[in-house]
Amino acid sequence: GPDSDFEYSTQSYTGYEPTSMRAIRARYDPYLQTRHRVEQLKQLGHSVDKVEFIVMGGTFMSLPEDYRDYFIRNLHDALSGHKSNSVEEAVKYSERSNVKCIGITIETRPDYCLQRHLSDMLKYGCTRLEIGM
């Protein structure tokens, strides 16, 4: 939010949430964030065969398309262990992985919910959309 110590924290987040702190430790690398969290959950004794991603904070769909593709591709690649060249390839390998992505939530604003944005979200495997007001 506006009073946060973090320059890029959105209005609804302080930047000190556990998820935010894990992202900072991984230097916002989506692959590392995913791998580290899956390993952490396994070490705690959880069976990690299903994962749901929440792309939180800000307006993800306002970011450049090449960065969005990189980010989503790396989430899927972290589950499968495969290094993909496209989102479509990453999703394909992720669907066959031992750890499967069962959902992706993307947070965005109403002005980033146009047809072209919705098509991209479906390509990413998005199953839920949270629209901020």
Asked whether the predicted pLDDT for residue 4 surpasses 50, the reply is no
pLDDT score for 15: 64
| Residue 93 within a domain | yes
Report residue 42 as tokens: 């396994």
Give residue 100's domain range. Answer: 48-131
Give the bridge partners for 103, in sequence order: 52
What is the rounded distance in angstroms from the CA atom of residue 125 to the CA atom of residue 107?
14
| Residue 120 within a domain | yes
What is the rounded distance in angstroms from the CA atom of residue 130 to the CA atom of residue 52?
14
pLDDT digits (tens, 9 = 90+) for 28-54: 888 998 998 899 889 999 989 999 999
What is the rounded distance in angstroms from the CA atom of residue 1 to the CA atom of residue 132?
14
**Residue 35 parent element (H or E):** helix 30-43
pLDDT score for 18: 67
Phi then psi for 130, rounded to 5 degrees? -110, 120
Q: Report how many domains make up the chain.
A: 1
pLDDT digits (tens, 9 = 90+) for 66-122: 999 999 999 999 999 999 999 999 999 999 999 999 999 999 888 888 899 999 999
Asked whether the predicted pLDDT for residue 6 surpasses 50, the reply is no
